[in-house]
Structure 1
């Protein structure tokens, strides 16, 4: 009741973005310290530090204005070097170059703006940086956004009575941020899809594959997440996968595992930031293209790709009519959907038919069966063609696939 009496109404606009509008929590509910999480917190080492040890301000008062005076910090981990680093310095140092700190998104915005990468992100126009922070960075944050509070896109506020959760909750933290392109695929939310086999057969959570070392970073800057050395691979668990069956032996060096074992996955595109949003609305799709990352993933000639939100006028509402160098990156990304099944539309064929009948293109009386699985020039919108020309499959598939039987 005291919190309800002294709270200040929220004035900042709620987080939004790809995951939709954030759920609303009343300010007094967001900071309420109670329940089993709070009881557990009181037995922890973090509790012994005391409120002002992290938040500064004035202790031992029920006057909110006085308590929050001086150098009060609402989110102490925003100053992680001072507040978290005294005990967790290695993690704090490593996190500065972590993908979870936003370096991947910053890189592409900077590249398309004519700069060299994330290291020059701060040279963008200030209004564009403000737009990025308000719209694109709602899922990237600090230590507290995963371990203490809900992410902004999840409504913010204490997630478990102020308990410091060593392993973040998969649903309220991981899936809250990785919604349409990760969590919903893994959980099988979309119509016509099934949960990932690693969930249904093994009850795996994100942390079973993605370690804390990976998520925090190792201190080495990477240009994007597929450049990171700590990423899990299928053969971490699936030993001798290359020789486990004829199909693996034949195609192990041709394309990534997801080409056969992924279901259709979520795509969207052409985001008009702070305007209409995604002008290509969310849809389930599946496209095989030339490997967009031959330097980072050299073992594959072809991979799955996913349409991105990139568009030349992404930042028009923030004073940038068009990117200076939009063609720096394709509009489709290398992708590894988290919706794997052993038997998919590609691997499960009718009795007596070859595995290739569900994936190779064939000409049946002038109709090119399975052509829709591949990214051709005709699949691209006019403004995508120049940026994505290097990954289309035109002229790169066997000619026999197109010859009439």
Structure 2
């Protein structure tokens, strides 16, 4: 069950001028489901991406990186679900390139102008014949308003589509931002088993967009974790079509900070939707570490707590066995941590004071917070002025069931 995940009404999902999307059923793994999605991007669109750090990078990830590194502009993207095309060696690379070739032929492009994406089961050959057979229907369906259909089309173990869409006015220039993402398990930072696509009609110089994509990912998709597993196919793409009046060429532009903040906000919402729909999740948790001496140690503590199976199962059961959080802070890897300066809160409840149980803490107050669908864990280390935030969820019986039955 998803935790407070709301699908926007159709009239609140705004098309992005310069982006067309087509979705179809190709029978890649299972019949009767939309599993093939095509994006066509207008001429002049800037595209940048951030990808998994897993050394077993899937074939489509490798091809995407190759195509983004060359000089031809990216004009199309193709996404299949049901098969990750990962752990497939040279045949997998050939399959990803064949997918690009097939779509490029239909759209009159160079294959190097196409980015391929795959998600699903690892270590199985990609059924290129089914993709090639399905592409004409996806191309025929191309239309600006198909964002919701695409959000459905890229789902795997997701229970609900993940969409964000907004309009903003930056320096007197109206712009649109719309994005989709997928992911529910095998989620941890350095990207996740996730795909994310965010588009805007603002114009952003290609070199600048590349830097911005990394900055946006760092505060959004690199701040979520479900189970601590880093996947092979993680990809986050930003496309800027340039159809609006806003043009940003460099970081010195006075409107750059506002545009960057707007992109970060949209991507953070997309990333949080993944955690809200995590496999078997019943609770959405924000882990905020304050007063750290550095970003590195703040994130060490945040992920130590967020990854702890004991912490996550306690939250699932609404069991205020909160010493588990202190234990996770203690083994996070800060060797000179002065535990006598550590404080811990659940929402408004002060649980641990100066390294020990707060004399005013009552267990029924802790349990009250833990029964909520959304919970904030706040940790003060008393070491400096750095704050970092990570988003995670609980572990339930259903998480085990979903992953035990995934290939069935």
Structure having the higher helix fraction is 1
Superposition TM-score, scaled by structure 1 size = 0.29
Q: Which has the larger radius of gyration?
A: 1
Structure having the higher strand fraction is 2
